[in-house]
Amino acid sequence: MSLPLIALALAAFGIGTTEFVIMGLLLDVSRDLSVTVPQAGMLVSGYALGVALGSPILGLATARMPRRQVLLMLMGIFIAGNFYCAIAPDYWSLMAARILTSFCHGAFFGLGAVVAGEVVAPHRQASAIAMMFAGLTIANILGVPFGTALGQALGWRSTFYAVTGIGVVAAIALWAWLPHNLTVATGSLMREVRSLARLQVYLAMLLSVLASASLFSVLTYIAPILERVTHVTPEVVTYVLLVFGVGLTIGNFVGGRLADRRLMATVVGGFVAVAAILTVFGLVTSMFWPTVATVFIWGGTAFALISPLQLRVVREAVGAPNLASILNQGAFNLGNASGAWFGGIAIDGGVDYGDIAWIGVVLALTALGIALWSWRLDFRKAPQGALATSVP
């Protein structure tokens, strides 16, 4: 990887760690702050909603600013937000800190994806985006398991102090390695906004929402599922999260490679695979080794969709790639919040933790139907003579 991609991946590692590590600490946070597990789970929803709402605001506010300057500013927000998480005295202070931290998330990944695509050849764009998102997936291999272990050993606040340190290192790398000559958007901002008003852009963002909702409806409650249904200890949960992170990393790179060749075929196949593996997960949750195996495969199939969906939005919104990429990160996190909320509502309504996977299955199948419709629209708009050679 080039140094700019390494810097972006390092920042993504920090952002991914702070986003996902709270799931492994839900029980610790709920005990320490005297709230229920579903209430603690709302810290996931609060973060995700902060991304969903903050992304369009920051996207519009920074649309004409130099990309390097914006990325460094966003890492400053990340550092401040995580430090506030570490010192938050109560539940609502922690919620406010999580929301503050979330403001940098969507804009950073959205703008970072565009920058990653800019520093490589056009036919390697999906792979470059996948390399940046590798920081997010490696966060699930290293950041989340070790952050969970650190929080269980020294208290959950110690995890957020550690993430603050990661943010400082990432900010230094971005300052040192990002090019100074990155493209700056020009032209009318309203023209860019109007260029987003296309059916295929809406469908692509809807797919991002549903992909994340399917993932987070289950992942948010993975710790209590493993402890109460699979009957493993909190220490073993850490190792299962490590297995999940390995699956994420492998799936991320595979999805990027496949999307460079056949973008929509990768998206459709990904949703088929997610629905299938979550069905298996719902059937084997009470058995340890089958559960570990399905968690690994589920991580791979879920994250194989991320860079293809991000690239799909950027390509469909030709006139506004920066803004569309940032908004799509908001779409991903709207799905995160929705998925966590669906899971929490189901648990409060009496659904057993072992049955949560079926929510993810329904959401994945819904996304599959929309993906097939969107792909069909691609072929309808293509010139008749180009159908044989087009690679949507």
Distances (CA, A) of 29 to 22, 74, 221, 232: 8, 26, 14, 19
CA–chain centroid gap for 99, Å, is 16
In angstroms, the CA 309 to CA 305 distance is 6
Smallest CA-to-CA distance from 274 within 226, 218, 341, 334 is with 218
Alpha-helix residue ranges (DSSP H) falling in 34-88:
37-61, 67-87
Q: Which tokens in the block code for residue 327?
A: 């908004």
Predicted local distance difference test score (pLDDT) of residue 159: 94
What count of other Cβ atoms lies within 10 Å of the Cβ of residue 385?
Answer: 8
For tokens 């948010």, the residue is 220
DSSP state of 140: I
pLDDT at residue number 388: 37
Helix (H, G, I), strand (E, B) or coil at 207: helix
Say what the pLDDT of residue 382 is: 56
Whether 237 contacts 226, CB under 8 Å: yes
Residue 225 CA neighbour count, 13 Å, CB half = 29
The one-character DSSP state at 386 is: G
At 380 the pLDDT is: 74
pLDDT along the chain (392 residues), means of 10: 87 90 85 86 83 78 82 93 93 92 85 81 78 83 84 91 95 91 65 77 94 93 91 86 87 90 93 97 94 96 92 82 80 84 89 93 97 89 45 45
Give the C-alpha separation, 248 to 12, whole Å. Answer: 14
- d(Cα 306, Cα 211) in Å, to the nearest integer? 8
Please state the domain extents for the chain: 3-175+188-376
For residues 42 and 51, what is the distance between their CA atoms, to the nearest angstrom? 14
Q: Which helix (H) or strand (E) holds 192?
A: helix 189-195
3-175+188-376 is a CATH 3.20.20.150 domain: no
